[in-house]
Amino acid sequence: MTSLAGHRVMLIEDHEDSRELLAAALQQYGAEVAVFGTAEEAFQALGHVQPSVIVADIALPVEDGYSLIHRIRSHSAEATKTLPAIAVTAYSSTADRDAALAGGFQSHLSKPVDPGLLVEVIHRLTRRPSR
């Protein structure tokens, strides 16, 4: 089993059931998870949470995931600009995937998200290059 011990995941999902399910799954793999229901809450907490990866829904109320990732990539802190980010969304076409990747996400997963696949993607995106 892949471990996410030592990883802090910022999870942004407006649907409570999905948020709780994903958070519980990530915690089972050892991740510390900070959960948020809106893009604004997540953005305001970014400096305090200091995540190693962001997992964000695209269809968030008020401000969507595309706008959030744009704000994060425009942030003044270099570490924030390069945070790995995964879009989780019901929008699952190839065009939706391409839009997420072009918008600043490194990966795109369709809902319902397979927790094991999410863990593998997080592991791949946060793996540190060997010296």
pTM attached to this predicted model: 0.94
Angstrom distances, CA of residue 35 to CA of 12, 27, 51, 117: 6, 12, 11, 19
Q: What number does CATH give the domain 8-126?
A: 3.40.50.2300
Amino acid letter, 97:
R
Per-residue pLDDT of 61-104, as tens digits, reads 999 999 999 999 998 777 788 899 999 999 889 999 999 999 99
Per-residue pLDDT of 3-33, as tens digits, reads 999 999 999 999 999 999 999 999 999 999 9
